Amino acid sequence: MATKGKLVLFRHGETWYNRQHLLTGLRDIGLTPEGEQQARIAGLHLHGFVFDKVYSSLLSRAFNTAALALAASGTNDHLRKADGTWDIEQRPEIVEGDAGDFTGRNKSTDPEILAWPHRYDVPLPNGESDEQMVARVREFYETELLPRLERGETVMVASHAGIMAAFEIVAGLKPAPQEDIWSHRSDVRNAAPVVYEYDDGRLTSHYQLF
């Protein structure tokens, strides 16, 4: 009988930098009240999902989104520790792409950002390229996630817009682009879960939960 795994991916809720259209990168910026509510709404839609494992990036906006969603789901109290915190493994491979010198600057109006040659293999100044980001996500996906999905586990990953785009590439849903994927990050909604379904470790379908 085929094993049927599920991978639930979503970006963190709205942050104060999101609200101001600033590039966040590795800066640890907290959720707005709206972002916290988005995480709870995501959790309500995850009612019925029982997670075997939950991951987030090292950044608090992703970890807190996962924690709020788990609490709201009502079906994952087995992941709550004795001290009331959540059993969420934080991983460096799924932090947002490093925006380098562009961190904290307005991606829509900053002339240097707008003039930068946005290519998949070109790092941002003193930062990271999308190609480098996808490489670390691929390693995490192949070594950590796929074995769990092959066993039929249900796994949650709370991360970032760039990481969501990277997952589409490493899962084979989209080819690596010539232009960067940074410019498409704003298309990824805050705290909107996407479900990837697997049979024997092979991706068979994916869909937005709401």
User: How far is Cα 203 from Cα 199, in angstroms, rounded to an integer?
Assistant: 7
Asked about 118 being catalytic, the answer comes back as: no
- Read off the DSSP letter of residue 119: B
Reported in sequence order, the residue ranges of 97-183 that DSSP labels E, i.e. its strands, are 154-159
Rounded CA separation 108/158 (Å) = 25
Distances (CA, A) of 133 to 21, 88, 156, 173, 191: 21, 22, 20, 17, 21
Look up residue 137 and give its two tokens. 């996500």
List, in order, residues 6 or more apart from 208 with CB less than 8 Å away.
Answer: 192, 193, 194, 195
E strand or H helix that includes residue 205: strand 202-208
| CA separation, residue 75 to residues 37, 49, 50, 72, 135 (Å) | 18, 7, 6, 8, 33
Residue 73, amino acid: S
Residues in the chain: 210
Catalytic pick from 14, 93, 96, 168?
A: 96
Amino acid at 121: D
Query: Do β-strands 154-159 and 4-11 pair in parallel, antiparallel, or remain unpaired?
Result: parallel
Known catalytic residue: 96?
yes
Residues serving a catalytic function are 12, 96
